Homo-oligomer: A and B are copies of this chain.
Amino acid sequence: MEPVTMAKAINLSLREALTRDENVLVFGEDVGALGGVFRITDGLQKAFGEDRVFDTPLAESAIIGIAVGLALRGFKPVPEIQFDGFIYSAFDQIVSMVAKYRNRSGISMPITIRVPFGGHIGAVEHHSESPEAYFTHTAGLKVVAPATPGDAYALLQSAIADPDPVIFFEPKARYYLKEEIDPVRQVPLGKARVAREGSGVTVIAYGPTVSIALEAATAAEKENMSLEVIDLRSLSPLDMPTVLESLRKTHRAVIVHEAPVFGGFGGEIAARIADDGFDLLAAPVTRVGGMDAPYPPARYEKLYLPDVDRILEEADVALAYG
């Protein structure tokens, strides 16, 4: 099988799910005839019919609300929220209903909410948000953010198969990353991967920042600095064993995400490392993220977002520490 883009991999994964289980439904704004604004659902309505792949009115809260009802009726809804910035009007249905419904009723909510997220696409306001921390803090939800086509394919299979609700964040700036994918390879929720081995500093990333971390590692090599890159893949549950395993080797960590640092998910990771890994640490755990300001106009996004230089700087500091 020749290499496919992440966009195509997600499309194939949805096809597989729709084929395997007749209870899987795909719906949202413009997912039907148009195939989604990113063409992720391209051809699905033609292949599976308007009953199973359908457009909804422009109403995010209802999109999630009907997903709850469909789940109660025995379906496995896979709703799409068109962009990260538009998930907020569904926040009550997600936090108070989707996340808590099983706890309330004993009835599982096998709902996978797909959300293209992150910046770096030169878009207008509200199209480049990184809202993951709002969901990792919400008990009852699982939160996933793949970084590669293969993981996107496999993690989406795991998310749809899981009995619990999953927020599936797709790094839209990486939709065109290409690689060969192996449809039978399984990637369970809650397992991170070492994306690149190294010995000096552990760089922890997920979704769109993994490839930046890998670039940084390549650049570091030239300066004889060795970075180990961990791709979390799942944010909640969080795979601390894999993170600490790496720390035992490097004793230093830099966390990278696009969301603003203050109150971001990096804080949770850093706090856990500094607690469970207290004795392992040779230097403070630092975080490289978006500025503590709203996402800026496109012209300025590269300066707002984490980049190779900022990662290398923090790695340098960590290595030089003490």
Which A residues form the contact surface with B (CB < 8 A)? 61, 85, 88-89, 91-92, 95-96, 99-100, 103-104, 125-126, 133-134, 136-140, 236, 238, 259-260, 262-268, 270-271, 274-276, 278, 281, 283-287, 291-294
Contact = CB atoms under 8 A, between A and B. Distances in A.
A301 to B, nearest CB: 14
Given A88-B91, A137-B134, A267-B267, A262 B286 contact: no
Contacts of A100: 125, 294
B139 A260 contact: yes
21 contacts: A88-B95, A89-B91, A89-B92, A96-B126, A100-B125, A103-B293, A103-B294, A133-B133, A138-B263, A139-B291, A139-B294, A140-B293, A262-B268, A263-B265, A267-B268, A267-B270, A270-B275, A274-B274, A275-B285, A275-B287, A278-B283
B137 A133 contact: yes
Contacts of A291: 139
A48 B291 CA distance: 42
A125 B101 CA distance: 11
B270 A136 contact: no
Contact of A92 (B88, B137, B266): B88
A137 B290 CA distance: 12
A295 to B, nearest CB: 9
Contacts of A292: 139
B99 A294 contact: yes
Contacts of A126: 96
Number of identical protomers: 2
A267 B137 CA distance: 10
A256 to B, nearest CB: 14
A274 B263 contact: no
A103 B291 CA distance: 14
A275 to B, nearest CB: 4
A285 B260 contact: no
B267 A271 contact: yes
Contact of A139 (B95, B262, B270, B287): B262
A265 B259 CA distance: 15
Given A136-B262, A263-B265, A284 B294 contact: no
Given A91-B89, A139-B294, A268 B278 contact: no
Contacts of A260: 137, 139
A92 B85 CA distance: 9
A128 B30 CA distance: 38
Contacts of A99: 294
Contacts of A264: 137, 268
A262 B274 contact: no
A290 to B, nearest CB: 9
